[in-house]
Amino acid sequence: MWYVWHNNYIYSILRVRNFVRVKKIFGDIMSDDAAIELAKMLGLKIEVKKEKVTHKKSTCRICEEEFSYKVKKGKAPTLCQSEECRKTHRRNIRKPKPKVIRKNVCVTEDCENVIIQTGKGRTITHCDSCKTELRAKQNAEYRAKTFVPLQRVGVCIDCNCQLETMTGRGKMKLRCAECQKKNHAKIARDSAKKNYKTVVRTYVCNGCNKNFEQTGRGKLRKTCPDCKTVPAKVEKKSAAEELFDALNEEQQEAIKLWESMRK
């Protein structure tokens, strides 16, 4: 314990100002209790320094239970460390904010729609329908000012010829006009082949007089492939036979001429 002696006579004799100096001088021959008794006998005033209080107790205003807290500067706490008590206190002291409701008329001409707005945000000046029209108009004006048409030149993928300049962002042409017609014909032909049903017909060969089958819709054959490859035999006539045929032809012509004259 710490003691302070308030006596000028003792100070002048001992030349000390506090109990620490007394302990240094008389520490070996005097204890604390002896120093106190000596001060009482001499009629000295003794002051005892109080111990510093670091913790205190209080009662929670929500759950009304006693709790301890550490002494600090400022107001003493009134709530314990429980989270439920803090939430309840926050809910009790919270005041509901008044709802802000504003009514204003649309600023567009010939439009009298009333806009009801809640909250404290920016004031709405256009209704939904007028806002849509205004946005479309602004977008069109901005596009008219800033639009730059895109020009591109392509190459035919079939014949590698240069195509005409195309403006815009649409799909580029892949082929020129002539290649496009050929491609369309090819596509149509491939599509027709998928739906084509094979036609089978029979024909009689003029060479071997046998029946054969022919597939397709073309002209019907008259000779089979084997007979086409074999050349036809040519019979040679003698001189007498040729003379007889010539005389016979002249006789027939004379008869026709005589019959025509008689008519």
What are the counts of helices (DSSP H) followed by strands (DSSP E) for the chain?
8, 10
Contact 16, 38 (CB under 8 A): no
Retrieve residue 228's tokens. 């086409």
pTM of the shown model? 0.30
Q: How many CA atoms lie within 13 A of 237 on its CB side?
A: 8
Handedness of CA 235, 240, 241, 243 (dihedral sign): positive
Per-residue confidence in pLDDT tens, the chain, 263 aa:
334 444 443 444 443 344 444 445 555 556 667 766 766 676 666 665 667 788 899 999 999 999 999 988 888 899 998 999 999 999 888 877 778 899 999 999 889 999 999 888 889 999 999 999 999 999 999 999 998 888 888 899 999 999 888 888 888 889 999 999 999 999 998 988 888 788 899 999 988 889 999 988 788 888 888 888 766 555 667 778 888 888 888 888 888 888 877 76
- Among residues 6, 86, 87, the alpha carbon closest in space to that of 39 is found at 6
Contact 196, 177 (CB under 8 A): no
